[in-house]
Every structure is written in C-alpha cells, then in structure tokens.
Amino acid sequence: MTYKQFNSKFPDEESAINYFIEIRYGGVLTCPHCGASNKVYRYRLVKKLCHCKNCNNSFSPFKGTIFQKSKTKLCDWFYAIHLFLNAKKGFPALQLQREIGVTYKTAWRMFHQIRIAMQNGELKPFEDLVEMDETYFGGKPRKAPPKLYDPATYDASKKLATGRGTTKLAISGIKERKSGRVYTQVMPPNELGEEVSGPQLKAVIDKTCVPGTTVITDGFSSYKILDKPVSSKVDLSLLDDSKLTEPSPSYVHYTINHKRSGWIAGLTGVELIHTNGIESHWAIVKRSHKGIYHYISPKYMQRYLDEYSFRQNTLKMPSLDVFDLLLKQSVLKS
C-alpha cells in the first residue's frame, strides 16, 4: 500500500475506526457481555464506544486488542503499521517519533504492540522439505580489562570463544523450502546450561513439522538425535559428501558438510541438500539488528524474531491483505 493509497483509505480518525470495527466484527457488532448481536449500537458522538440494549452495557470494540487504553489516535496507529510493514528491514522507533509527533516512549510501545500482533497468528505446521539452522546474536566478544583478571592466569593472547562456544543468545530457525515460510525461536539454556542440545532442537521440530517431514541440517552434533543407521538400499554415490539416514521415528534427516561443499545433489537429482534458505533469513535479520536497531535486549528478542518471521511469511501476499491480516491478529487471544 502506497502513501497515497493510505491517505485516500484513511482520511480521518472516523474512517480508521470504522475500518477496524468492520475487520473485527465483519459488520455485525457483538456484545462481549451477553453475546447478543441485535440491538447493539454505536454512540453517535463517542465513536470508540458501543452500547447493547439487551444487557444495557457499554463496551469498547478495542478492548482485548493492542489498541486498548491507548490515547494515540487510531489513524496514527494505522500509519505506524503502514510504515512498519513497508520497511523490509525494520523501522526504528525514533523515526516513528518524528513521523507522527509522539514521544519516544509512545513510539517504542506502539512498535512492540505491533510485534505482539505479529506473534498472534496461528502456526501452520510445515509439511514439505525444511531447512534448519541455528545462529547467535550479540556483540563482538570482548575481554574485560586486564585488572579484572588474576595476573597469574591472565593471557592477553588467548582469543575469546566464538560460534557455539560463545556466550551470545542462541537462536534456532526452520524454513520450509517450497512455501518460504519460517519459524524462529530463542533457545534458552536448560537446567544443565545447554542452549542448543539435541532434545531442545527436536522439540522445535516436533512443534513445527508434521511427522515424515524431510529435515536438512548442517553437521552440528546435536542433530544426531534425528539419525538412525544408514540403509543398505540407499545409493550413497548420489550424495557425494552428504549423509542420509533412514527415517527417524518422525522425520527423514539429511546433513550437509559445509567444510567440503555448499550444496549437494539429492536422491532424485532435483532437490538440493543445503541450508541456504534459512541462512539467507539470518542474513536479513542480522543486517537489521546491526543497521536499524543496533541493540536488542534478550528480553524482547523473540518479538523481533517474530517480526521478521511475519514479514517473510507474508512476503507473497498483497500489501493490503497483509495490513488486514495484522489488524485481525491485533485482537489478542484471551
């Protein structure tokens, strides 16, 4: 949706209110107190309130949504959503502050409420071939000043751990190759302090994939939980450096060896064994992290991940349909 289309669609506050009520109720107002849909009317002067003559109660059509108790105009909310959806790599709260003339605290809260709406959609299980990978978010590892270390054990030449040995926040992600849909999740440490153990990764797959799904991963040892002995019926010459295992209790597992090759021909010669799809998603998220938001608190990391999952999962939808979908998801689950 372009800026001109937005202005023609929402010229004033009343048009924005009417549009949201139509999206939420489908043209039939329903009283949340008694459930009646007849004799439910809107106040003529107070546009954000409705009244039910069956139970004689008033109610707000914005109750239970991300707009509840907000003093900001709904048309400003809609404009924030419009800007947020049009920005492929995110939109900073400071710029929204300048765009609509609110405080930074208000702009920050608005964007986080929009991210909550993005989280509010139904997870449709993956059924096709999927790629799974894990990554880490955080700044460059830096040593504390030498005075904080024991002089007897301090070694200035020793490098800090990176990759899986780092103290950064661990993230796992799955991308369905055919549809392009993604699911990403923060991986908190378990009771043993492990962040990406085999059972944790298997739990993510169980949550997002139907039984029988083909899963392609890298050579990380935690993915061995999906493995079984190699079948003698498989022609390994077709796989070169990859490894194919028989179906686990739920899934078929392929592994790509990144040290030897970037992709490998599959069993049929059509499907390629690689994880480039989910890695490209990490590239977009990390460039946004570095270039737009600069710092993301671990407390809110899942919201940012869901923001980019929502963008990716609605990439092929018309912009107006994405806008309507987000308004529907702004009605929070009770």
Q: Quick one: pLDDT at residue 249?
A: 54
56 and 138 part of one domain: no
Instruction: Please state, in angstroms and rounded to a whole number, the distance separating the CA atoms of residues 181 and 215.
Output: 14
Percent of the chain with pLDDT over 90: 50
Residue 219 lies in a domain: yes
User: Which of 35, 63, 91 delimits the end of a domain?
Assistant: 63
User: Which of 63, 98, 117 delimits the end of a domain?
Assistant: 63
Residue 75 lies in a domain: no
What would the mean pLDDT of 165-184 be, rounded to a whole number?
A: 88
43 and 134 part of one domain: no
Residue 31's domain spans which residues?
1-63
Q: Which of 13-27, 124-138, 192-206 has the lowest mean pLDDT?
A: 192-206
Distances from the Cα of 264 to the Cα of 128, 239, 241, angstroms? 18, 7, 7
32 and 173 part of one domain: no
Residue 121 lies in a domain: no
Residue 236, C-beta contacts closer than 8 angstroms, at least 6 positions apart? 230, 244
38 and 142 part of one domain: no
Side-chain half-sphere of 175: how many Cα atoms within 13 Å? 21
Domain count, the chain: 2
Residue range 287-305, pLDDT digits in tens? 998 889 988 888 999 999 9
160 and 265 part of one domain: yes
Helix orientation angle between 13-25 and 74-86, rounded to the nearest 10 degrees: 70
User: Which of 45, 63, 81 delimits the end of a domain?
Assistant: 63
Residue 296 lies in a domain: no
Residue 48 lies in a domain: yes
Residue range 111-127, pLDDT digits in tens? 999 999 999 988 899 98
135 and 271 part of one domain: yes
Task: State both tokens at 322.
Answer: 């994405």
Q: Quick one: pLDDT at residue 264?
A: 60
In this structure, the strands spanning 169-176 and 130-137 are antiparallel
Residue 316 lies in a domain: no
Q: Quick one: pLDDT at residue 248?
A: 43
| CA atoms 153, 159, 164, 167: torsion sign | positive
Q: Do the Cβ atoms of 40 and 29 come closer than 8 Å?
A: yes
271 and 173 part of one domain: yes
Residue 107 lies in a domain: no
What is the helix (H) or strand (E) element at residue 280, kind and residue range? Answer: helix 276-288
Using pLDDT thresholds of 50, 70 and 90, give the confidence band for residue 169: confident
| CA atoms 47, 52, 55, 60: torsion sign | negative
Determine if the pTM surpasses 0.85: no
Q: Distance from CA of residue 325 to its chain's centroid?
A: 15
Q: Quick one: pLDDT at residue 266?
A: 55
Residue 302 lies in a domain: no
Q: Quick one: pLDDT at residue 255?
A: 86
Instruction: Please state, in angstroms and rounded to a whole number, the distance separating the CA atoms of residues 107 and 96.
Output: 6
42 and 137 part of one domain: no
52 and 147 part of one domain: no
Using pLDDT thresholds of 50, 70 and 90, give the confidence band for residue 237: very low
